[in-house]
């Protein structure tokens, strides 16, 4: 450590803190480079987001340091969010001497002093009569350290504490009093920590035991509203959201609040509703009422209240705010009788299979279930009927189910084929950076760096930085920029996939390896998304691991997806499995019968003919990105015309988010060039359209060729040019 000076500090600062945190990789690197050192100190927050991330994996990496002569590992914990429990597991992993976990906010002399002190571990904690104790042993302690122990003890039992075999009977008066609600939350957190430690100690193969503990952790977490690795806070805007996530609207958890007497718990299941106000006279809109007045009245009389999300800046995920009138499934004032017939028609159409999912703002969707105490509805204004097919509305204009019914009953055609024009899909600083990039990449890079420095947690700033570094030829720097998205949003499978798609485009070995890793984590986090499995599978194929790729798709095909959630996904995954099977047989001809047998058993489709595929996927929920394909003869395939006259089929129109959507040409393509576009038809509440187009060519004999085209759409109704495919990829 004495060799580290000002020069090294400047080099580290110039490199900047970018990239995903591969703590396992760092420990492995140290193992191969530290043969002349007996001590190792890591400066980290302990939050691993790449490579091995479990306590078991990281303990093994720490213990392996002993092979190179490391006798003690210490951790200097830094950052606002730290995993000190994991760091304690690392410094007590089994080297000759246990190390310490040192607060990085201490002064340098204090840190240096603690690095020289002896450490004690495996100190048992026993409290006779307690139903539970956490922690049961104390590790990585140094002289003068304090420890907090949680336990459950009957009120009539005397408190006796045994630490390291030494008995002590503290005076009850010495125990500090705490508000009961906080004590309950702290106890729940301790129980969760105890179960997490128990789960980490189980072998990875003991899936039943690990799953049982996970279920108990989730139950305790949701009941006490204490976060865990398996739970998250979720904002639900409408009744549709509650139904989608299968959450009982009346199953309200108790919440911690501040009342007149201080902290308290509110039992929302028994809390009385406030008295109803005086009935208001019916508000009748006259024909001369201004649009502004009408909108103001509507806002005042929205049923169901409003749901305002956190104000999001340019690079944040999600929309700034929504109400029942402007949300994805808007609930406007109830026009009871006129709307009831339309609502019945909608339900009949749904049952008949005419309508699939809601699109855009739905007028009067609450008409069939209006509460008896809601305000009277305003009289509806006459609405002009949809125009003829030759005069379609602008592509960006959202449409309701009611309008779809009007089209059906009046012979209209609904959404029309959009014009083949592409607009700039970017806004704000992203638009400025992308405008500079083609001709002035150095200026674009400077702007992106300044943006990222100003807002280090902004996803769009990191994308702009990655794009600029790619353009200037710094592919490793670009990989680190995209890796930072993983680091910031390690628990978000959608953003992990988005970062992985960007990494794949770089054609860099280490970037490809990180893409495989993040796709694997995404598949573990959200196995209910088909894209998780297919992205992992094809990344493994490109890495030369077809057997693992086949297994990933087998898992995807076994997964039960919500009914109607991912149109066409099973067909896509089944054909993907067939492609990977051919690639596997090509790599290992001797396993042909085994592979084809597994293909049949899994329900996959044999793919032994040439084919060209364009697969579109995106990483935002509850929105609609449409896929448009034009051939060289100006034929057009899209959601309403899914077959090209020159050959090729679009499988399905996914309107509920994520995709994938697939267009396949079987045999030799006959109408090059193919022009590909993505249309952000409806953004929904989840933010920008981020995804990729993947071009897949199969020669019919197991050779797969890929081309990756990630995209970003920041405007409703915008088209993004996904490029032209002029020939079979090489």
**Residue 719: alpha-carbon gap to chain centroid:** 24
Rounded-to-integer distance, Cα 620 and Cα 711, Å: 13
Write out the H or E segment, with its range, that includes residue 75.
Answer: strand 72-77
C-beta contacts of 473-477 below 8 A and 24+ residues apart? 475/506, 475/507, 475/508, 475/511, 476/508, 476/510, 477/18
Domain with residues 424-508, CATH architecture: Alpha Horseshoe (1.25)
Domain limits, the chain: 6-116, 176-183+201-270, 291-410, 424-508, 527-608, 610-730
Rounded-to-integer distance, Cα 656 and Cα 682, Å: 10
Residue 172: predicted pLDDT = 56
> pLDDT tens digit string along 583-632?
999 999 999 999 999 999 999 999 999 999 999 999 988 888 999 999 99
- Residue pair 266/258 in contact (Cβ under 8 Å)? The answer is no
Strand partners, 75: 42, 101
Residue 395: predicted pLDDT = 37
Residue with tokens 């392996």: 64
> pLDDT tens digit string along 648-662?
999 999 998 999 999
Residue 36: predicted pLDDT = 82
Dihedrals φ, ψ of 141, to 5°? -100, 145
Closest Cα to residue 72, out of 103, 37, 48?
Answer: 37
Residue 270: predicted pLDDT = 63
- The CA-atom distances, in angstroms, between 172 and each of 125, 157, 161 are 18, 11, 12
Closest Cα to residue 579, out of 593, 560, 599?
Answer: 599
Radius of gyration of the chain (CA): 30
Angle among Cα 175, 181, 184 to the nearest 5 degrees reads: 70
Residue 678: predicted pLDDT = 93
Residue 170: predicted pLDDT = 65
Residue 223: predicted pLDDT = 87
- Evaluate the CA torsion angle 450, 451, 455, 457 in order and state its sign: negative
Select 610-730's CATH number: 3.40.50, 3.10.450, 2.60.120, 1.10.490: 2.60.120
Residue 637: predicted pLDDT = 97
Its pTM stands at: 0.78
Residue 204: predicted pLDDT = 78
Rounded-to-integer distance, Cα 631 and Cα 651, Å: 17
Class of domain 6-116: alpha beta
| Below-70 pLDDT ranges, the chain | 169-175, 237, 268-421, 683-686
Residue with tokens 């000190």: 84
Dihedrals φ, ψ of 121, to 5°? -140, 175
Residue 718: predicted pLDDT = 82
SS3 of 708, please? strand
- Residue pair 460/482 in contact (Cβ under 8 Å)? The answer is no
Which residue stretches of 588-694 are H helix? 592-602
Strands 132-134 vs 262-266: parallel, antiparallel or unpaired: unpaired
Residue 169: predicted pLDDT = 67
């Amino acid at each position: 450590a004495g060799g580290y000076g000002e020069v090294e500090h400047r080099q580290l600062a110039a490199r900047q803190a970018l990239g995903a945190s591969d703590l396992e990789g760092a420990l492995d690197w140290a193992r191969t480079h530290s043969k002349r050192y007996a001590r190792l100190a890591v400066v980290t927050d302990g939050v691993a987001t790449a490579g091995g991330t479990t306590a078991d994996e990281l303990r093994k990496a720490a213990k392996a340091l002993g092979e190179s002569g490391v006798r003690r590992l210490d951790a200097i914990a830094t950052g606002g969010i730290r995993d000190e429990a994991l760091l304690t597991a690392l410094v007590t992993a089994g080297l000759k001497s246990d190390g310490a976990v040192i607060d990085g906010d201490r002064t340098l002399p204090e840190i240096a002093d603690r690095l020289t002190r002896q450490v004690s571990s495996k100190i048992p904690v026993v409290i006779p009569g307690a139903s539970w104790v956490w922690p049961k042993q104390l590790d990585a302690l140094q002289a003068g350290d304090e420890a907090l122990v949680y336990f459950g003890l009957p009120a009539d039992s005397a408190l006796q504490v045994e630490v390291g075999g030494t008995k002590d009977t503290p005076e009850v008066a010495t125990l500090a009093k705490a508000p009961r609600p906080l004590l309950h939350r702290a106890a729940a957190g301790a129980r969760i920590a105890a179960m997490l430690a128990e789960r980490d100690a189980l072998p990875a193969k003991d899936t039943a035991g690990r799953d049982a503990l996970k279920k108990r952790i989730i139950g305790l977490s949701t009941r006490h509203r204490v976060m865990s690795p398996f739970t998250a806070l979720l904002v639900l805007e409408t009744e549709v959201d509650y139904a989608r996530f299968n959450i009982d609207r009346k199953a309200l958890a108790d919440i911690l609040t501040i009342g007149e007497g201080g902290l308290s718990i509110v039992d929302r299941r028994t809390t009385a509703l406030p008295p109803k106000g005086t009935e208001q006279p019916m508000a009748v809109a006259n024909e001369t009422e201004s649009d502004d007045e009408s909108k103001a009245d509507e806002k005042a009389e929205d049923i169901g209240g409003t749901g305002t999300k956190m104000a999001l800046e340019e690079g944040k995920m999600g929309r700034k705010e929504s109400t029942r009138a402007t949300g994805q499934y808007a609930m406007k004032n109830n026009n009871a009788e006129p709307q009831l017939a339309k609502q019945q028609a909608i339900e009949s159409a749904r049952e008949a299979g005419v309508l699939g999912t809601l699109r855009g703002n739905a007028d009067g969707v609450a008409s069939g279930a209006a509460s008896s105490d809601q305000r009277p509805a305003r009289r509806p204004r006459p609405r002009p009927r949809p125009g003829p097919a030759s005069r379609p509305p602008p592509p960006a204009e959202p449409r309701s189910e009611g309008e779809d019914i009007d089209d059906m009953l009046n012979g209209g055609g609904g959404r029309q084929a959009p014009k083949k024009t592409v607009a700039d899909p970017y806004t704000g600083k992203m638009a400025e950076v992308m405008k500079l990039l083609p001709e002035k990449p150095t200026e674009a890079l400077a702007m992106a760096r300044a943006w990222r420095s100003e807002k280090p947690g902004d996803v769009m700033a990191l994308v702009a930085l990655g794009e600029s570094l790619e353009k200037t030829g710094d592919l490793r720097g670009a990989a680190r920029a995209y890796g930072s998205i993983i680091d910031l949003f390690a628990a978000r499978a959608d953003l992990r996939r988005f970062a992985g798609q960007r990494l794949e485009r770089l054609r860099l070995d280490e970037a490809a390896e990180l893409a495989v890793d993040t796709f694997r984590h995404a598949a573990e986090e959200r196995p209910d998304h088909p894209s998780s499995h297919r992205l992992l599978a094809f990344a493994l194929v490109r890495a030369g691991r077809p057997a693992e790729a086949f297994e990933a798709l087998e898992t995807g095909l076994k997964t039960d997806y919500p009914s109607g959630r991912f149109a066409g996904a099973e067909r896509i995954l089944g054909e993907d499995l067939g492609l990977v099977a051919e690639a596997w047989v090509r790599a290992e001809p001797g396993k042909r019968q085994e592979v084809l047998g597994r293909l049949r058993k899994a329900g996959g489709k044999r793919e032994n003919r040439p084919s060209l595929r364009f697969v579109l996927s995106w990483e935002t929920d509850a929105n609609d990105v449409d896929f448009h394909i034009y051939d060289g003869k100006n034929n057009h395939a899209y959601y309403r015309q899914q077959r090209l006259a020159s050959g090729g089929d679009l499988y399905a129109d996914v309107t509920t988010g994520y995709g994938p959507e697939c267009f396949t040409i079987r045999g030799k393509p006959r109408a090059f060039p193919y022009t590909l576009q993505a249309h952000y038809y409806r953004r929904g509440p989840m933010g920008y359209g981020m995804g990729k187009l993947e071009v897949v060519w199969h020669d019919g004999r197991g050779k797969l060729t890929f081309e990756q085209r990630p995209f970003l759409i920041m405007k409703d109704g915008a088209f993004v040019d996904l490029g032209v495919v002029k020939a079979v990829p090489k």
